[in-house]
């Protein structure tokens, strides 16, 4: 999935680019309006995230150009102003969503995924599985070999992430941003502790271990 980010504020742009890349997206970052529109019109994207206030050409003008060119990719606006007029104007011009700065990265990511899902019309799975472990997304329940496992909300979110990306080594920075909404290089052991607790509940009583530590890299869940 390829995402275009148009944001002139270097820190925010870099934060978005890095976070979205760590979440598995391919990201192009443009720093001004004219550049952003040029890239949006000449390349194919699954989603565009546009800041409203940009040098050269604002986000609304970029969106107008995108729609006039017949491109129907979902577009999300970012703005520092939670002005109702801005919101209405963006939606009138055909924006699909609107996020007011400052925002939590986890919220942005959730909305990005929703927009992309809407775009591809893929039906969301109702449960996630690995070997005899099952996570029921609707009932928020986890079982292994038919035995119910009680998890805290964070443990559930962590297990959900590991299951959704099973077989993939997930760096701590990605887990921190998606489950805890913490900074990428946060210097705490909260993740180690949570993974240890999750393992104790999910793996300890079973011979086949599903969650592994990959030294210096992160964690992976996979059926042996
Ligand atoms: Ca701006």
CA–CA separation, 154 vs 157, rounded Å? 5
**CA 21 / ligand 1 centre spacing (Å):** 21
Give the model's pLDDT for residue 121: 47
**CA 152 / ligand 1 centre spacing (Å):** 39
Return per-residue pLDDT of the chain as tens, 224 residues. 899 999 999 999 999 999 999 988 889 999 999 999 999 999 989 899 999 989 989 999 999 999 888 888 999 999 876 666 776 777 777 788 888 888 899 999 999 998 888 765 444 567 899 999 999 987 889 999 999 999 998 899 999 999 999 999 999 888 888 887 776 555 678 889 999 999 999 999 999 999 999 998 899 999 98
**CA 101 / ligand 1 centre spacing (Å):** 10
DSSP-derived pairing of the beta strands 47-51 and 75-79: parallel
**CA 39 / ligand 1 centre spacing (Å):** 18
Give the environment of ion ligand 1: residues with CB less than 5 A. 8, 51, 53
Give the model's pLDDT for residue 183: 67
Give the model's pLDDT for residue 29: 97
**CA 70 / ligand 1 centre spacing (Å):** 25
Nearest to 108 by CA among 84, 82, 72, 78: 78
**CA 41 / ligand 1 centre spacing (Å):** 20
**CA 138 / ligand 1 centre spacing (Å):** 39
**CA 51 / ligand 1 centre spacing (Å):** 6
As given in the structure block, the two tokens for residue 168 are 């993939």
pTM reported for the whole predicted model = 0.54
**CA 53 / ligand 1 centre spacing (Å):** 4
Give the model's pLDDT for residue 137: 83
**CA 82 / ligand 1 centre spacing (Å):** 14
**CA 71 / ligand 1 centre spacing (Å):** 23
Query: What DSSP string describes 56-110?
Result: SS-HHHHHHHHHHTT----EEEEES---HHHHHHHHHTT-SEEEESS--HHHHHH
Give the model's pLDDT for residue 122: 42
């Amino acid at each position: 999935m390829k995402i275009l980010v148009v944001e002139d504020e270097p820190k925010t742009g870099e934060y978005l680019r890095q976070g979205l890349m760590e979440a598995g997206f391919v990201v192009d970052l443009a720093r001004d309006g004219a550049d952003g529109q040029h890239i949006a019109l000449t390349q194919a994207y699954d989603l565009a995230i546009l800041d409203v206030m940009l040098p050269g050409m604002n986000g609304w003008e970029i969106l107008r150009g995108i729609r006039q060119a017949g491109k129907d990719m979902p577009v999300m606006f970012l703005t520092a102003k939670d002005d109702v007029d801005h919101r209405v104007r963006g939606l009138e011009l055909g924006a699909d969503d609107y996020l007011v700065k400052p925002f939590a990265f986890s919220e942005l990511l959730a909305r990005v995924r929703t927009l992309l899902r809407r775009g591809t019309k893929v039906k969301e799975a109702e449960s996630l599985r690995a070997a005899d472990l099952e996570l029921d997304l609707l009932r928020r329940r986890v079982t292994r070999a038919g035995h119910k496992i009680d998890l805290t909300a964070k443990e559930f979110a962590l297990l959900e992430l590991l299951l959704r990306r099973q077989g993939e080594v997930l760096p701590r920075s990605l887990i921190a941003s998606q489950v805890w909404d913490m900074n990428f290089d946060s210097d705490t052991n909260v993740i180690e502790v949570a993974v240890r607790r999750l393992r104790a509940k999910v793996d300890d009583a079973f011979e086949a271990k599903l969650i592994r530590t990959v030294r210096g890299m992160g964690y992976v869940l996979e059926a042996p």
